[in-house]
Chain A
Amino acid sequence: MQISVTTRTRASTIAGIAALALIGLGLILPAFASRSVIQDLFFILTLLTLAQLWNLIAGYGGMVSIGQQAFVGIGAYAMFAGVILWGWDPIAAIPLGLGAALVLAVPMAFFAFRLQGAYFAIGTWVIAEVTRLLVAQWKTLGGGTGTSLPREATADIWGVKAIAALLGLRDAAARDVLAYWLALAMAVGTMAAIYILLRSRNGLALAAVRDNDNAARSVGVDAARLKWAVFLSAAAMTGMVGALIFLQTARISPDAAFSVTTWTAYVIFIVVIGGIGRLEGPIIGVLVFWGLQTAFADYGSWYLFSLGLIAIAVMLFAPRGLWGLFTDRTGIALFPVQRRLTTTSQGDSRNG
């Protein structure tokens, strides 16, 4: 009898096939979906990516940051700088967002990793505020009031003409399709990377550090190196998503780009409602968030009022989130990372 370690379950095999089918459907969707559906999906996919990244650092890494808006903002501003100051194509300028966020993340990590728990949370928030105030001094990019992408730059973005011709759309709609495809690629890429990380040795080490720092170190895990790696990669990717979001809106201001409510509070809401520390959580969370928004957005502040009460209720009655509630009852995990021992009978003859 042979014993092996596996993470695969029947549910995960089905989920894997379904995920591939969904990605395929997502790719060809612009051929028949309306523009507003594409815009909604862009919104969902970018928020989902941000939520997965926050889930990675907080849910798996144990670093509760409320300063992620710093990376969204700096990434978006780096993209605008590339377009406005150096005349780059907006698509080519998106990776600038990644670079800028990385450059900001290094000093931020140096500083914040000295702090624990609540101090870490507040410290990251203050750094994000400082970044916002400094960027607001940058007069060539509009200072405190912000600026728009120049019309010449948005008129001929790489690939827009080809998409317009291919799908028979006008330029504005083709721009949305392009942004949507990029958002899809980022969401799928981020989730795949996180899933692969979590199933690797490093993923196991990361969970060990989160659950008990000292115990993890005593069995030889290099906790500091892991935290650095996770924090920096999440920051860089967050910057790139920020650049993409503001490519689509084509207008930026410090208050919008560094909004703690939109880019961190709502993201935390999504992760925690869905279920923190699991890959399925943010997916459920973003669907709930979007559903609430479409259904009740007309009620203005009463909608946000209820959102606040829902956050409180979920924490009181389902502290592990909606997906946690479901998986505790059924034991089903779509993207399992739990290692299980299984026995296979074919090993009998070999092992004698």
Chain B
Amino acid sequence: MIWLDTIVQGLLLGGLYALFAAGLSLVFGIMRLVNLAHGDLIVFAAFLILVVVQMTGLNPFLGALIAAPLLFAFGWLVQRVVLNRVLGKDILPPLLVTFGLSIALQNGMLEVFSADSQRLRAGPLESASVDLGPVTVGIMPLLTFASAVMVIFALNQIFYRTALGRAFRATSDDPVTASLMGINPASVFAIATGLAMVTVTIAALFLGMRSNFDPSIGPARLIFAFEAVIIGGLGSLWGTLLGGAIIGVAQTVGAQINPEWQILAGHLAFLAVLLVRPRGLFPRAVD
């Protein structure tokens, strides 16, 4: 029974990792951009929600609703002004630019918000739980998982059912040919990054409500997110959800055996998948 509980908790934790990873999966899938600042952007979004909440007194969910369009604009602008100019066959320039962004964001936040731990207060929701027969699960983890599924579902709808999604897939497969068909890759990329920042806002909302956050926690979130994306396979959004779940379950099972093995078990699961499938489980696009 303890194992069933462990696996359920792991799946729900995987929902949080899938949320971290959804935006990354989108930009990585469409433009092969290794965004090393993704984790810090999540923390940045959490601070932005916190500022909105403190200024207006709204609850965090409404705060996120206000923060989302601001972050969409921020992502759009960063992609337009900076990232589009360094994208290419060579992965190093975007790697260094996003590393620079990561260092700048971390230290900028440290100056502005200090190193103190912060939290988004969600009232009684934080500790509420529901009895599901053999296991009891927290409302908050359940809500996180449901949001992850909804975010992935919505992104998939955009990806496969809209003209914008067609442009995403075409640019992902071959930017040169796509641009011959009247698609402007630069603006497609900018919209994709904007959308990714909206998912980052949702991830930040749940990160902030579930645990404390401070300016230094970004990189650890980044590595989990990347593992989820790579396990799932390039460009496969449902794969990303599965990847998050695999990392989450591996972590809780590892922690059940020995609390010090939690993070280690997640990494080992990632390496094991990659050993068998070097391109992840369900790669949609080719590199």
A-B interaction:
yes
Report yes or no: B101 in contact with A315, Cβ–Cβ below 8 A.
no
Report yes or no: A127 in contact with B96, Cβ–Cβ below 8 A.
no
Question: In the complex, how many angstroms separate the beta carbon of A144 from the nearest chain B beta carbon?
Answer: 8
- A73-85: CB near B (< 8 Å → 1, else 0) gives 0000000000000
Most buried by B among A114, A117, A137, A312: A312
Interface segment out of the listed B64-72, B85-93, B148-156, B194-202: B85-93
Pick from B99, B267, B287: contact of A129, CB below 8 A.
Answer: B267
Pick from A66, A118, A260, A308: contact of B32, CB below 8 A.
Answer: A118
Report yes or no: A127 in contact with B271, Cβ–Cβ below 8 A.
yes
Report yes or no: B223 in contact with A319, Cβ–Cβ below 8 A.
no
Report yes or no: A312 in contact with B111, Cβ–Cβ below 8 A.
no
Pick from B105, B219, B267: contact of A126, CB below 8 A.
Answer: B267
Cα-based distance from A304 to B260 in the complex (angstroms): 32
A64-B91, A64-B95, A319-B86 known; A305 and B270 CB under 8 Å?
Answer: no
B118 lies within 8 A of chain A by Cβ: no
Report yes or no: A117 in contact with B91, Cβ–Cβ below 8 A.
yes
Question: In the complex, how many angstroms separate the beta carbon of A339 from the nearest chain B beta carbon?
Answer: 24
Report yes or no: A315 in contact with B96, Cβ–Cβ below 8 A.
yes
Pick from A114, A117, A123, A315: contact of B100, CB below 8 A.
Answer: A315
Question: In the complex, how many angstroms separate the beta carbon of A324 from the nearest chain B beta carbon?
Answer: 12
Nearest B residue to A306 by beta-carbon distance? Answer: B104
- Residues in B whose Cβ lies below 8 Å from that of A117: 32, 91, 287
Question: In the complex, how many angstroms separate the beta carbon of A162 from the nearest chain B beta carbon?
Answer: 43
Report yes or no: A265 in contact with B107, Cβ–Cβ below 8 A.
no
Cα-based distance from A306 to B91 in the complex (angstroms): 23
Cα-based distance from A234 to B102 in the complex (angstroms): 27
B47 lies within 8 A of chain A by Cβ: no
A130-B264, A133-B263, A302-B111 known; A119 and B100 CB under 8 Å?
Answer: no
- Residues in B whose Cβ lies below 8 Å from that of A127: 271
- B10-37: CB near A (< 8 Å → 1, else 0) gives 0000000000000000001000101000
Report yes or no: A268 in contact with B99, Cβ–Cβ below 8 A.
yes
Nearest B residue to A115 by beta-carbon distance? Answer: B278
Cα-based distance from A115 to B104 in the complex (angstroms): 30
Report yes or no: B230 in contact with A268, Cβ–Cβ below 8 A.
no
Report yes or no: B100 in contact with A310, Cβ–Cβ below 8 A.
yes
Q: How large is the interface on B (under 10, 10 to 19, 20 to 34, 35 or more residues)?
A: 35 or more
A311 lies within 8 A of chain B by Cβ: yes
Report yes or no: B95 in contact with A121, Cβ–Cβ below 8 A.
yes
B226 lies within 8 A of chain A by Cβ: yes
Question: In the complex, how many angstroms separate the beta carbon of B152 from the nearest chain A beta carbon?
Answer: 21
- Residues in A whose Cβ lies below 8 Å from that of B82: 312, 316
Nearest B residue to A311 by beta-carbon distance? Answer: B100
Question: In the complex, how many angstroms separate the beta carbon of A278 from the nearest chain B beta carbon?
Answer: 14
Cα-based distance from A58 to B102 in the complex (angstroms): 21
Cα-based distance from A308 to B38 in the complex (angstroms): 15
A111 lies within 8 A of chain B by Cβ: yes
- A56-76: CB near B (< 8 Å → 1, else 0) gives 001000001010000000000
A307 lies within 8 A of chain B by Cβ: yes
Nearest B residue to A304 by beta-carbon distance? Answer: B107
Nearest A residue to B226 by beta-carbon distance? Answer: A122
Q: Which of B41-89 contact A (CB under 8 A)?
A: 82, 85-86
Report yes or no: B95 in contact with A119, Cβ–Cβ below 8 A.
no
14 A-B pairs in the complex with CB atoms less than 8 angstroms apart? A64-B91, A121-B34, A126-B271, A129-B263, A130-B267, A134-B264, A136-B260, A137-B260, A268-B95, A302-B111, A304-B106, A307-B104, A310-B100, A319-B86
Given contacts A116-B287, A307-B103, A315-B100, 13 further A-B contacts (CB under 8 A): A64-B92, A114-B275, A117-B32, A121-B95, A127-B271, A130-B271, A134-B264, A268-B95, A301-B107, A301-B111, A304-B107, A312-B82, A315-B97
Residues of chain B touching chain A, judged by Cβ–Cβ distance below 8 Å, are 28, 32, 34, 82, 85-86, 91-93, 95-97, 99-108, 110-111, 219, 223, 226-227, 230, 260, 263-264, 267-268, 270-271, 274-275, 278-279, 287
Closest 6 CB pairs of A and B: A308-B104, A311-B100, A308-B103, A301-B107, A312-B100, A305-B107
